[in-house]
Structure 1
């Protein structure tokens, strides 16, 4: 299907249902363990509909990458990260999310990246853009705190944002592997303590 082709509302809804279904199946079974036929059956669409919206499995997976990035970013934007208290709530939300899944599956976007990062150059770049978008959510909040004077001048919002994201990804992988939220809780607590060490007013952290 041409990327510039316009879809009717019904067509767009059908395409979105297929992508959403594919995302859930891939999260559960992996890219290699999910076939076009699996998606077709689960989404209750015909083979001709699948062929109409997606040239092949690769193009469907590309849509899933963007879908998962959007889904994860929706969660990461709530709460807005504008205070030290927000960072603690952000950590608690990510830990609770893993607890609700019984520590299975890992990060929806991170797990997909782990499976696809060496697939081809275009896919790697697409995954990198997803992580860039994620990092920017963290960076924007830290930059606001910096501009407001909550963080000392030597704090670097860019590096702090990357550190938070790397800690979350690594902690989530260990939590998935060990089937315990202990690694994720430990690393997020430590990395947020590191961010808090740049507080212009240490008392503000104590009150958070």
Structure 2
């Protein structure tokens, strides 16, 4: 994948070129999050970013490479948030605070647009393997952060040693992403909150044993 420091031909970008490329990616990311990938045209990106067509094509051969750059951009933004949120969590109370922060943030939009990564995955996974694999790696990292939290709970004796941490992390990630989707269609975060609460309640039930 071409980074923001490189042009299409592999040459290192000037500071001005890097800023132009970053502006294109940021504008495309905002549009694709709100409108969707399919509904966002390159003309939309040109208008939103304020760059010329020649500048856009200097950095991206077409829409697919731009979508991949958006995935990288959005992925780093989401994962930085999740690393900060989950990196030191070692209690159920901490997991609850993580849940509250995600639900409250999504409530500001009444659940609209869903998860930034989940929305991208639903549109590109079936026709762009490069994008699908990039998203798969991001979801794996996110799930790994949840597994690390659950493993810390297990190490502290809050979860039985025989419990499969990977299975629990998969279930929690599924509840989160399913909750985002339900909230998106309902324009109400209540289903998201309920989905995550059910998954956390299951974790707590194992702890109670």
Q: TM-score, normalised by structure 1?
A: 0.89
| Aligned equivalent of 1:139 | 147
Contact kept, 8 Å, 1:135 with 1:161, in 2: the verdict is yes
Within 5 Å, give how 1:38-187 maps onto structure 2: 38-80=44-86, 81-187=89-195
Contact kept, 8 Å, 1:40 with 1:46, in 2: the verdict is yes
Q: Supply the distance in 1 between the matched residues of 2:23 and 2:152 (Cα, whole angstroms).
A: 37
Contact kept, 8 Å, 1:66 with 1:130, in 2: the verdict is no
Q: Deviations over 1:122-165 (max 9, x none)?
A: 22222211211211121222222223333210222211111111
Structure 2: where are the runs of 5+ without partners? 1-6
State the Cα distance separating 1:102 from its structure 2 match. 1.6
Q: Deviations over 1:106-136 (max 9, x none)?
A: 1111111111111132222222112112111
Q: Supply the distance in 2 between the matched residues of 1:197 and 1:4 (Cα, whole angstroms).
A: 53
- Structure 2 counterpart of 1:25, from 27, 31, 39: 31
State the Cα distance separating 1:2 from its structure 2 match. 3.8
State the Cα distance separating 1:3 from its structure 2 match. 6.9
Q: Supply the distance in 2 between the matched residues of 1:63 and 1:122 (Cα, whole angstroms).
A: 11
Q: Supply the distance in 1 between the matched residues of 2:170 and 2:9 (Cα, whole angstroms).
A: 32
Q: Supply the distance in 2 between the matched residues of 1:129 and 1:75 (Cα, whole angstroms).
A: 16
CA RMSD in angstroms comes to: 1.8
| Aligned equivalent of 1:206 | none
State the Cα distance separating 1:64 from its structure 2 match. 0.7
Q: Secondary structure at the match of 2:48?
A: helix
Q: Supply the distance in 2 between the matched residues of 1:74 and 1:14 (Cα, whole angstroms).
A: 23
Contact kept, 8 Å, 1:164 with 1:191, in 2: the verdict is yes
Contact kept, 8 Å, 1:98 with 1:104, in 2: the verdict is yes
State the Cα distance separating 1:197 from its structure 2 match. 2.2
Instruction: Kindly indicate whether residue 37 of structure 2 is the aligned counterpart of residue 37 of structure 1.
Output: no
Q: Supply the distance in 1 between the matched residues of 2:11 and 2:176 (Cα, whole angstroms).
A: 38
Q: Supply the distance in 2 between the matched residues of 1:14 and 1:148 (Cα, whole angstroms).
A: 49
Q: TM-score, normalised by structure 2?
A: 0.88
1:5 and 1:179, CA in 2 relative to 1: closer, same or farther beyond 3 A?
A: same
Q: Secondary structure at the match of 2:51?
A: coil
Contact kept, 8 Å, 2:71 with 2:134, in 1: the verdict is yes
Deviation larger for 153-162 or 6-15: 6-15
